[in-house]
Amino acid sequence: MRIGVVTFPGSLDDSSALRAIRLAGGEAVPLFHASDDLKEVQAVVLPGGFSYGDYLRCGAISRFAPIMESIIVAAEHGFPVLGICNGFQILTESHLLPGALIRNQDLHFICTDQPVTVENTNTPWTRGYTQGQRIVIPIKNGEGSYQASAETLAELEGEGRVVLRYADKNPNGSQNNIAGITNARGNVVGVMPHPEQAIESLTGPSEDGLIFFSSILQSLVAR
């Protein structure tokens, strides 16, 4: 099972995402922003970081990278995509996911181990969790406040498309405590917390994040 991870100029967590895929038992394939070649991967991860220095808006310039043109076309045909943190911002800028991520309510860069609830286990990235499962994975961002119009929020809630929701307290002013969402088809998922930073007890707060990566491998086998 070949899972790609895109490196943009300014990506930080690409090597962690590649490692998480390997640890889950997949073949991790590095992809580069300047090429439109998806190298026959069966799913792709857009990692965290500060692509293009977050200039203009987070994810705004990455959205026009050659690799994104290929990913956008593939995603519209059901290709599984996971955007983590900056990757989530790139997915909203690409209009593959609705809404936008803006500056955290208190303006702080927040780096903490965050309890979240898994609310949608029908996506290829979350099928290994149980509905309502509480997991602890790190958040580390300055612009993680999820905002969308009232109609979009109603649609997301009505269709069960909120994938992760902040538990206990809302860290950043996100509407409806939203930490992650999916598209109508369920193949594109964006999350602000970093599952790839919670895969081993030695370095993370838990091993809860590894299930994102084992889930996609299971989904691809099941196809």
Partner 1 sequence: MATIIVEVMLKPEILDPQGQAVASALPRLGFNFAKSVRQGKRFEIVVDGEPTHTQLAEVEAAAEKLLSNPVIETYVVKVEK
Which residues does the annotation mark as catalytic? Answer: 85, 194, 196
Look at residues 179, 77, 81, 156 and name the one whose alpha carbon lies nearest to residue 124. 81
Query: Rounded distance, CA 175 to CA 205, Å?
Result: 25
Per the DSSP assignment, residues forming a β-bridge with 113 are: 138
Choices 16-24, 92-100, 120-128, 210-218 (CB under 8 A): range interacting with partner 1: 92-100
DSSP 130: P
Q: Tell which one of 70, 105, 170, 176 touches partner 1 (CB under 8 A).
A: 105
- Contact between 120 and partner 1 (CB under 8 A)? no
Closest separation in Å from C-beta 156 to partner 1: 13
The interface with partner 1 within residues 156-215 (CB under 8 A) comprises 173
Q: Which is nearer to partner 1, 44 or 148 (CB)?
A: 148
Only one of the segments 26-34, 35-43, 55-63, 187-195 lies at the binding site for partner 1 (rule: CB under 8 A); that segment is: 55-63
By CB under 8 A, name the one of 27, 76, 106, 157 that touches partner 1: 106
**Which residues have a Cβ under 8 Å from the Cβ of 154 and sit 6 or more positions away?**
none
- Taking CB under 8 A as the rule, does residue 4 contact partner 1? no
**Judged by CB under 8 A, which stretch of 38-46, 142-150, 159-167, 205-213 contacts partner 1?**
142-150
Task: Tell me 49's DSSP state.
Answer: B
179 Cβ contact list (under 8 Å, min separation 6) = 114, 116, 139, 146, 163, 164, 165, 166, 191, 192, 193
3-state secondary structure of 37: coil
The answer to whether 147 contacts partner 1 (rule: CB under 8 A) is yes
| Among 1, 29, 74, 102, interactor with partner 1 by CB under 8 A | 102
Contact 14, 50 (CB under 8 A): no
In terms of residues, how long is the chain?
Answer: 223
Q: How far is the C-alpha of 180 from the C-alpha of 85, rounded, in Å?
A: 9
User: Closest distance between partner 1 and the C-beta of residue 89, in Å?
Assistant: 10
Selected from 56, 73, 111, 154, the binder of partner 1 by CB under 8 A is 56
Asked if residue 64 binds partner 1 (CB under 8 A), the reply is yes
Distance, in Å, from the CA atom of 210 to the CA atom of 195, rounded to the nearest integer, reads: 7
Of positions 13, 93, 119, 208, contacts partner 1 by CB under 8 A: 93
> Which residues of this protein are in contact with partner 1, per CB under 8 A?
56-57, 60, 64, 92-93, 98-100, 102-107, 145, 147-149, 173
